[in-house]
Amino acid sequence: MKSILSVALLSSLGLWATAVEAWDTEPPPSSCGSSTFPATGQLTPATGTLTHTGATVRDDGFVKAGGALSYQDNGDGTITDLNTLLMWEKKSNDGSVHDVNKTFIWSSLVTDTVWDWIDAINTKEGNGIGFAGFNDWRLPNVRELLSIVDYGRLNPSVDPAFNNNLSTGCTVLTCSATQLPPYWSSTTVATVDLDAWTVDFVAGHVVAALKSESHFVRAVRRGCVMP
């Protein structure tokens, strides 16, 4: 009996070890494909950096860690980040709910907030069908918002996918716009409930702002469906 139990136990352990090995080498099944942490966009090493011993300066522009910034315009007013697989709202200049010039307060009882705006994005057609056919749009968290900063560019520090063909009256189907001042994230500052984190697209700074302030917005959603 002892021998039989030992064989059974070893067999079970062997199957478990095989499963663990598979988990270590094979990604879990997903309809999303591969998600990659994005690079910053800095493509050239910093010049004028001094080292006492002459060591190679392996800065961000030297290493270029992460997936090269890559975006797909979906032709429906949205942009998909091919690294993170997040889908982003394009911004227009037509006075619509997507207008790049619109700003909102994070928290208020007397005026529309970012949450009222998100609700409008998700019910854009008035019949429960949201923007571009999706009703799971949300305000990005601060790390998601930072992921589209291109630190190889200034004013604005974004890929041209987010800033092109801007003209008066252009829609999300004909242009893509980005303002420089801060954009709201959905992330509250720890221990300071009255503040939330913002990201500016002048150079990609992260700054805390009072939730009673009015700032720009850009919606995001998961670009694929996990099983």
Q: Is 2 part of a structural domain of the chain?
A: no
pLDDT tens-digit readout, 41-60: 999 999 888 898 999 999 99
Q: Is 16 part of a structural domain of the chain?
A: no
The pLDDT score that the predictor gives to residue 39 is: 95
The pLDDT score that the predictor gives to residue 72 is: 97
Asked if residue 35 lies in contact with residue 84, where contact means CB atoms within 8 angstroms, the answer is yes
Q: In what order do the strands lie in the sheet with 206-210?
A: 103-105, 214-216, 183-189, 192-199, 206-210
Asked if pLDDT for residue 8 goes beyond 80, the answer is no
Q: Is 163 part of a structural domain of the chain?
A: yes
pLDDT tens-digit readout, 148-202: 999 999 999 999 999 999 999 999 999 999 999 999 999 999 999 999 999 999 9
Average confidence (pLDDT) over 93-112: 97
The pLDDT score that the predictor gives to residue 92 is: 98
Q: In what order do the strands lie in the sheet with 220-222?
A: 71-73, 78-81, 86-89, 220-222
Asked if pLDDT for residue 15 goes beyond 80, the answer is no
The pLDDT score that the predictor gives to residue 128 is: 72
Q: Is 18 part of a structural domain of the chain?
A: no
Asked if residue 136 lies in contact with residue 122, where contact means CB atoms within 8 angstroms, the answer is yes
Confidence band, pLDDT 50/70/90 cuts, at residue 22: very low
pLDDT tens-digit readout, 123-145: 976 667 899 999 999 999 999 99
The pLDDT score that the predictor gives to residue 48 is: 87
The pLDDT score that the predictor gives to residue 12 is: 45
Q: Is 197 part of a structural domain of the chain?
A: yes
Q: Is 11 part of a structural domain of the chain?
A: no
The pLDDT score that the predictor gives to residue 125 is: 64
Rounded Cα distance, 163 and 86, in Å: 18
Which pTM value belongs to this model? Answer: 0.82
Confidence band, pLDDT 50/70/90 cuts, at residue 224: low
Residue in the structure block whose two tokens are 């063909």: 165
pLDDT tens-digit readout, 63-102: 999 999 999 999 999 999 999 999 999 999 999 999 999 9
Asked if pLDDT for residue 7 goes beyond 70, the answer is no
Rounded Cα distance, 171 and 178, in Å: 13
More confident residue, 150 or 14: 150
* DSSP secondary structure code for residue 224 in this structure: S
Average confidence (pLDDT) over 102-128: 91
Domain count across the chain? 1
- Residue 215 lies in domain: 34-222
Q: Is 17 part of a structural domain of the chain?
A: no
